[in-house]
Amino acid sequence: MRRGVFLHRGPRVRQHTPGRRARGLSFLGLRNLPHSPALSRPSRRAAPTRVDVLAGLVTALALIPETISFSIVAGVDPRIGLLSSFTFSVVIAFVGGRPAMVSAAAGSMALVAAPLVRDHGFEYLVVATVLAGVLQLGLARAGIAQLLTRLPTGATLGFVNGLAILIFLAQMDHLVSAPVVLLVLLGVAIIFGGRHVGIRVPPSLISTAVLTIVAVALVSSAPTVGDEGTLPTGLPGFHAPDVPFAWATLWTVLPTAISLAAVGLVESLLTAELVDRMTETDSPKRREAYGQGVANVVTGFFGGQPGCAMIGQSLLNVESGGRGRVSTFAAGAWLLALVVLLHPLMEILPTAALVATMIVVALTTFDWSSIAPRRMRGAPVDTVVMILTTAVVVETSNLAYGVAAGAVVAWLLTRRRRRDTGLPDDALTAPEPARADADVPRPTGTVASDAG
């Protein structure tokens, strides 16, 4: 299927021409953005506002346990992760380029941020979040969106698989006792059982509820979310980072900021491509890159952690009927409302429930088809690049390094084989999947796990 051309039944959908510059696009990418009334009419395939609002509610229910989990991975209070997800979702609903895609405080960004928080504290992460947003604006201006959508298949698979392995390894530190391990295993079984049955309530919520009851009744010594920090009781406010205003601060946060900017754009644009295929529509990737940068800058100045698109929640939102920007906005609004209203209940949630959710996230994020013998034999270049990318990601705990290494090696291998065989580049790699669920596991029922 050629880029920009969709062959499907039904009404014609206006396509976005790749490479074509958006009319009136300013440096910040905001001049051609619609005003708030356009939230209810993002495309010809937009769902009614009522459907978008309900889809946002379902997505928010799945966002709560995973957002808290990602905050713990990053080493920050759950309150910060929840407020960051609210801020990010609201901002990206207005300035993003892909309607119905959900962006929040994602796991991939938490993994990159964790070493900076551990070594220098949260205030340095706030500076890195703002700087990452500024870098994303600059990369969007330079046209990086078009480049990232052409990443080699092997590098993309290595990115996803490396992310899954890092998420899984990050949970091992929370298995502090035998009762906790048993709670985690019970939670994993409940989630997979719910996904298999296809129940309409997100299984992660059922798992969290069951494990909370079991922990309160039988394992009172199990660590809880309240032990990790405070939860929000209201709206976020402006926050100026409390760090020395010096060049040393900039050099401290710059490597993390560069990694955050690269990882955020890669995951967001890959997720946007996936949602494009699912909804049979197209979206301006350059505008989405601008939107991610603006959302990170705003979230940083509100004292939040960095964010990007979340694959699982985006799939869940679309499958729940979400098609417009209202669904993204509603997801963030519902998340804050539910947490504020259920504040006392959130504090007694056992950490084991969140660990179980994250283990399922890791297992469903990993692309198991990429290690199938038939596929590995059929696309040797993709296989080598995928393994290398995954290895670099796991060894360095940096997703950006892995993708960069994989892209360079893929280019070198395809160039060499083209010279030796005389075949075109596209004959040396696996074909692009025709369906949205070919490379990313699709959720069953109405539940999805986040890959981000």
Residue-wise burial string across 131-149, b where 16 or more C-beta atoms lie within 10 A, e elsewhere: bbbbbbbebbbeebbeebb
Distances (CA, A) of 446 to 129, 195, 198, 291, 320: 32, 8, 7, 27, 7
What separation in angstroms does the CA of 329 have from each of 112, 317, 396?
26, 11, 35
Q: How far apart are CA 268 and CA 287, in angstroms?
A: 12
pLDDT tens track for 249-301: 899 999 999 999 988 998 898 888 878 877 888 889 899 999 999 999 999 99
Share of the chain above pLDDT 90, in %: 24
pLDDT for 433: 45
Q: Both ends of the chain: CA-CA distance in Å?
A: 27
309's enclosing H/E stretch is strand 308-309
Q: Which candidate, 374, 299, 315, places its Cα nearest to that of 105?
A: 299
The average confidence (pLDDT) of the chain is 78
pLDDT of 44 above 70: no
What was the pLDDT predicted at 133?
95
What single-letter amino acid sits at 438? A
- Tell whether the model's pLDDT for residue 166 goes beyond 50: yes
Q: CA-to-CA distance for 160 and 99, rounded, in angstroms? A: 23
pLDDT tens digit sequence for 354-406 = 788 778 878 887 889 889 998 888 888 889 999 999 999 898 877 778 888 88
pLDDT at 422: 59
* Contact of 200 with 446, CB cutoff 8 Å: yes
Residue pair 139/260 in contact by the 8 Å Cβ criterion: no
Rounded to whole angstroms, the Cα distance separating 267 from 237 reads 28
Distance CA 399, CA 444 (A): 28
Mean pLDDT of 11-26: 41
Cα 133 from chain centroid?
16
- Cα 78 from Cα 37, distance rounded (Å): 33
Do 207 and 190 contact (CB within 8 A), yes or no?
A: yes
Nearest Cα residue to 280 out of 55, 449, 434: 434
Query: What is the model's pTM?
Result: 0.70
* pLDDT reported for residue 420: 66
Q: What is the mean pLDDT of residues 305-329?
A: 85
Task: Encode pLDDT of 431-444 as tens digits.
Answer: 444 444 444 444 43
DSSP at 104? E
Residue 43: pLDDT above 50?
no
DSSP track, 363-381: HHHS-GGGG-HHHHHH-HH
In sequence order, the β-bridge partners of residue 309 are 103
Which residues are 350's β-sheet partners? 224
pLDDT at 308: 93
Residue 423, pLDDT > 70, answer no
Here the tokens at position 377 are 């034999």
